Amino acid sequence: MSHGFTYSTLTTAILNYTEVGTSVLSSTITDQFIGNSELRIQRDVPIDADRKEMIGNLTASKDNVYTPAGTLFIRGIQVYTSTTAATGANSWLEKKDISYLREYDAAETTTGTPKYYAMSGGATGKGATSSGRITVVPTPDSAYTYKIHYNARPEGLDSANTTTYLSINFGNGLLYACLVEAFSYLKGPMDMLQLYEKKYQTEVQKFGAEQLGRRRRDDYTDGEPRIPVNVQSP
């Protein structure tokens, strides 16, 4: 079972494992280790606790919408035949590269119910609403209702937010990821860095299997862990 941490106990553990003090690794530096490690974990394993949905309406003759604020990645998009509610007949859009969409509708004149989508721009910040776009084709011919399934980056672990889902439920993995950051920063022994990287990968395998065990995703919800998980056959 993964050992849980608070902000204080995790920071202390980083200092203890690296055998240095705050004169070498200040709180500013260890905070950066923690933030980088959280983002790495969130990208490596889609975490159900971070799953969100956003409902909106497409605009007729407009082929894009903004990604939801705080989006880490998109799991899938549903488009409904209704223009008033996210209920009834619907279809999952198939994710494609933006170049595919441009080839599909080179003249940008094809309209109808969208079938494909592509991402452009990076993941959005917590307060950003315009740093990432979702482009769809065909261009909508009506204000269809859509539902975006996505993972949002949660509040990170810090002195004001002293526990998080990851710190409690994936404490060992978070610690090992922080130690990889720390030994890389300190230019410490390569064997130590490799040791904690290996430990991190092992914890990710277990954590990913736990996430998969809670549900089985369909083909359109992009639910595979970023690191392949080796699940033993029953």
E strand spans, 67-203: 71-80, 90-92, 94-95, 111-112, 116-121, 132-137, 139-140, 145-152
pLDDT score recorded for residue 208:
85
The token pair at 139 is 């261009």
What residue segments make up the domains of the chain, in order of their start?
7-47+155-214, 50-152
- Residue numbers of the chain with a pLDDT score lower than 50: 1, 217-229, 231-234
The token pair at 21 is 């003090």
Q: What is the pTM of this model?
A: 0.77
Handedness of CA 209, 204, 223, 7 (dihedral sign): positive
3-class DSSP state of 9? helix
Q: H or E element: which one contains 114? A: none
* Cα end-to-end distance, the chain, whole Å: 20
Tell me the β-bridge partners of 55. Answer: 147
Cβ neighbours of residue 197 closer than 8 Å, sequence gap 6 or more: 176, 180
Contact call for residues 46 and 75 (beta carbons, < 8 A): yes
pLDDT score recorded for residue 70:
84
pLDDT digits (tens, 9 = 90+) for 59-78: 999 999 999 888 888 889 99
With tokens 């980083």, the residue in question is 14
Task: For residue 124, give the nearest of 151, 91, 94, 103 by alpha carbon.
Answer: 151
pLDDT score recorded for residue 2:
55
Number of Cβ within a 10 Å radius of residue 92 = 17
Dihedral in degrees, nearest 10, Cα atoms 104, 110, 113, 114: 30
